Structure 1
Amino acid sequence: MPIRLAAILAVWSSVAFAAAPQALQVYDGKPPAAGRIQVSDVEAPKTLDGDVVEIAGQAKAPDSVVTLSKSGKSRGDDALTLRFRQARQATLSVESGQPVDLRPYLAEGVLAFDVNVQALSAGGIAFKLRCGDDCERSVPYLVPGRELAGKGWRHLVFSLRCFYRDGDDFSAVTRPFAVDGSGSGQVSIANVTYQMRGASNANCPDYKTVAVTPDKLNESWSINWWTKRHEDKLAEARQLGKNAQIVFIGDSITHAWEKEGLPVWRRVYQPLGALDLGFSGDRTENVLWRLLHGEVDGLDPKVAVLMFGTNNTGHRQEDPRTTAAGIQRNIDELRKRLPHTRILLLAIFPRGEKPDDKLRRINEQVNAIIAGFADERTVFFANINQAFLQADGTLSTDIMPDLLHPNERGYEIWAEAMAPALKKLLSAADR
């Protein structure tokens, strides 16, 4: 057990443990007392008052259909079934009504439930709990979930520590269980309980190391194209070979040099034989997987432009130090594979409308750390974020329509703001 967690547990009195039930029932055919069952997509939730509730035709997800219904496992109505089609996010949630204290279960406790994955070939699932307004913890389950499809009911047991991060307060949990679906699929759950002790039979990523552990991007909306894009980029890299002077490495913001930024790319970077290694949705561990699987092998560019990490923030609201460690791990790998290349590390771009946007503030903390990665010999840091912002620090939809991804004007700004640093590094490489 981690020392900090052990210390937290030690201060709780034996009375608190004695008062906690050995098994805390979350769903056994009905919600907890004063609780409720809800379903939601990207907009407002609906409560399951009868046997079925549906959400369809929402403004932000017009093609999405999400249905939650009572169903059966041991009897006719002791389970819940979530069906979702073309959903960005479909959530079945058990709301506790009265806050639940899960602290006594942290030492050796488990979350146990039965699940029946009827269909998931075009979807993904994750299991979640909410421990506060700014505390939602998730365990992704797309790959193992697809392996369970069509195999009937299975009993899953997760260590509660799968959902815990240092500093979390599990004393008043209002959503002790939820299933998130995306894409299209059908999943049923039953018999959801927290147990004081148990042997887990389901794995979860270690939140402290996930950012530096290479992995593919396994999301319902990416899994069908991500590996194909990697293979295509391997072929493109082989074709360019040593003619590539600049390589851009990143996530969707870099990927979109091939879309919204294409006019700028063709004019500014294509003449230099530039290679775009941006993949939508990528987090630091996904970039690392690509590097370890040959995406820059055989290249010898003068400059590699790096800008990623915002998906670590957006998907996991990750500790800035953890995201920074993931970025550092990628830099280390690049320096091994491209020993003659100068690395231009960009600050993660601003997101959210206002300076106090929660996710923007996390990114800024990451930027404060990674600025120190520059050694001014092989790694150089540039923060061009002010070029995207108005005088009061707000981000305009005229530049980033969704307050995250630039439009063509945004890519013009990127190219113009980065030009002095890039020119300097290209010129130095020619000496």
Structure 2
Amino acid sequence: MTLRHSAALILSALAASAATAASTLPLYVGQPLAGAKVLYGDFDVQKTLDGDNGRMDDDPKLKNAVVEARRTNKDAAGDALGLAWKDAWFSTLRVESAPLDLRPYLARGTVSFDLKVNELAKGGLNFRIDCGNNCERKVPDVIPARAAEGKGWQHRSYALSCFYRKGDDFSAVTKPFALDGTGAGNVEIANIRIDMAGKPNQACPDYRTASVTPSPLNESWSLDWWMPRHEEKLAEIARRKAAGERTELVFIGDSITHHWEKEQPELFKTFYGRYSALDLGYGGDRTENVLWRLQHGEIDGIAPKVAVLMIGTNNTGFRQEAPELIYAGIKRDIAEIRKRLPKTKLLLLAIFPRGEKPDDTLRVLNEKVNAMLPRLADNKHVFFLNMNKAFLAADGTLSKDIMPDLLHPNAEGYKIWQREMQPELDRLMR
């Protein structure tokens, strides 16, 4: 069978599927889609909204967290849903149904809803559609959602393709829509539907270029500190330059790097004080956030002997991004560092292991990226080091004695990092 023949068969099957699919899927229009139910909760615990009100405050992992769901009114009694949350870094209100084939809707379809933001000064939203087992796609909405606070009901419509990535299987979707809250907030939503041929009124990021498009980290939990930290780092660089202090070592990365300074300052000083090391790690950063910082002065005015870069685990954690796209983001960051620090040797680290077991979904993604990273090392200016085995038991499991949340090292984890990296750092410093 030729490639052209195969493609024709696929298109024919999709066309036949589209011909038999309903023009509209009313996920929650006055009531849930037939056979569907509404759930609410936090990351670990979700409950079914059986009555008019529901409250979740019994998650043992989040003792102060409260998530409340309710049936509320837009045009008629009980035709809308409300979600209020506090002290829960993640909350959700979602529709769960029998398997739905959304493939006929992907080409020109939309997901739309009416949204009312009552309170969101300390929060943000994500809109999500799951695409199979351990597969989810979301569109973030923080700045626009905050701007909508107190302005009543607003209609939102996104192209369904905003929630699609190449290779996704939308043939049996059981979680066709979720509203996820971060920080704290109170919102209402109504008329959630998927249309075969709708008209979107909202834009979404292009997933193919997100990792290489410079951007600040605009998350509900980062807006208060991310840009001030950037300004503080610029001021520190200016102070060092004015005082004639030489920065011989710089660390660039996300929270795993940030926590050297935030959680283990004495260890950081003990291990790297002799280099007048500068910590440019920011919690939550992805490759595009590092790129923005590099382009806005964070390594200008210094000339370190060595720069250590580790980035990418939040690309997997937040977007479940394809390995080749994360690789492209890391490659772009390296190019920017080399452009601004041409005499500095760059030590690129493999993304650290996460998740308890080797088959953890996000660890598997990270390891696929790590397998590609040696291509970026020329062993003249850019060098690659993979120390991940030092963090793992013989069976590949990750211990909470080293990384209590199975992502961020504690003091013992940072000591392993220093021990494993020091020989290479010594060599590059020479």
* TM-score > 0.5 by shorter chain: yes
In 1, are the aligned partners of 2:126 and 2:179 still within 8 Å (CA)? yes
In the alignment, the residues of structure 2 paired with residue 408 and residue 342 of structure 1 have an alpha-carbon distance, to the nearest angstrom, of 27
In the alignment, the residues of structure 1 paired with residue 275 and residue 421 of structure 2 have an alpha-carbon distance, to the nearest angstrom, of 15
> 1:244-286 deviations in whole A, cap 9, x for unaligned?
0000000011001113332221112112110000001111111
In 2, are the aligned partners of 1:287 and 1:330 still within 8 Å (CA)? yes
Q: Does 1:334 align with 2:332?
A: no
In the alignment, the residues of structure 1 paired with residue 412 and residue 89 of structure 2 have an alpha-carbon distance, to the nearest angstrom, of 27
In the alignment, the residues of structure 1 paired with residue 10 and residue 61 of structure 2 have an alpha-carbon distance, to the nearest angstrom, of 43
Q: Which residue of the partner structure matches residue 291 of structure 2?
A: 288
Give me the CA root mean square deviation.
Answer: 1.5
Between stretches 350-359 and 311-320, larger displacement belongs to 350-359
- Give the letter aligned to residue 26 of structure 1: L
Q: Which residue of the partner structure matches residue 198 of structure 1?
A: 198
- The 5 A counterparts of 1:29-428 are 29-96=30-97, 98-241=98-241, 243-427=246-430
C-alpha distance 299-91 of structure 1, shift in aligned 2 (>3 A): same
> 1:174-201 deviations in whole A, cap 9, x for unaligned?
1111100011111111111111112211
SS in 2 for 1:203: coil
Aligned length: 422
- Give the letter aligned to residue 48 of structure 1: L
Q: Which residue of the partner structure matches residue 23 of structure 1?
A: 24
- Give the letter aligned to residue 121 of structure 1: A
C-alpha distance 100-226 of structure 1, shift in aligned 2 (>3 A): same
In the alignment, the residues of structure 1 paired with residue 360 and residue 267 of structure 2 have an alpha-carbon distance, to the nearest angstrom, of 29
SS in 2 for 1:61: coil
Between stretches 109-118 and 55-64, larger displacement belongs to 55-64
In the alignment, the residues of structure 2 paired with residue 116 and residue 375 of structure 1 have an alpha-carbon distance, to the nearest angstrom, of 53
- Give the letter aligned to residue 86 of structure 2: R
Cα shift at 1:392: 2.4
In 2, are the aligned partners of 1:351 and 1:395 still within 8 Å (CA)? yes
In the alignment, the residues of structure 2 paired with residue 113 and residue 79 of structure 1 have an alpha-carbon distance, to the nearest angstrom, of 10
Cα shift at 1:7: 7.2
In the alignment, the residues of structure 2 paired with residue 8 and residue 250 of structure 1 have an alpha-carbon distance, to the nearest angstrom, of 46
SS in 2 for 1:422: helix
Cα shift at 1:45: 1.0
SS in 2 for 1:134: coil
SS in 2 for 1:12: helix
In 1, are the aligned partners of 2:14 and 2:104 still within 8 Å (CA)? no
> 1:41-90 deviations in whole A, cap 9, x for unaligned?
12221111110001114211112111100011111211001111121111
In the alignment, the residues of structure 2 paired with residue 259 and residue 142 of structure 1 have an alpha-carbon distance, to the nearest angstrom, of 26
- Give the letter aligned to residue 272 of structure 1: Y
Identity of aligned residues (%): 54
- Give the letter aligned to residue 373 of structure 1: L
In 2, are the aligned partners of 1:31 and 1:95 still within 8 Å (CA)? no
SS in 1 for 2:364: helix
In 2, are the aligned partners of 1:61 and 1:88 still within 8 Å (CA)? no
In the alignment, the residues of structure 2 paired with residue 267 and residue 245 of structure 1 have an alpha-carbon distance, to the nearest angstrom, of 15
- Give the letter aligned to residue 172 of structure 2: A
Normalised by the size of structure 1, how large is the TM-score? 0.95
Cα shift at 1:294: 0.8
In 1, are the aligned partners of 2:348 and 2:382 still within 8 Å (CA)? yes
> 1:129-149 deviations in whole A, cap 9, x for unaligned?
112112211110111111111
Cα shift at 1:391: 2.3
More strand by share: 1
In the alignment, the residues of structure 2 paired with residue 14 and residue 363 of structure 1 have an alpha-carbon distance, to the nearest angstrom, of 36
- Give the letter aligned to residue 295 of structure 1: E
In the alignment, the residues of structure 1 paired with residue 400 and residue 44 of structure 2 have an alpha-carbon distance, to the nearest angstrom, of 21
Q: Which runs of 4+ in 1 moved over 3 A?
A: 6-9
In 2, are the aligned partners of 1:42 and 1:61 still within 8 Å (CA)? no
In 1, are the aligned partners of 2:101 and 2:171 still within 8 Å (CA)? yes
In the alignment, the residues of structure 2 paired with residue 320 and residue 15 of structure 1 have an alpha-carbon distance, to the nearest angstrom, of 33
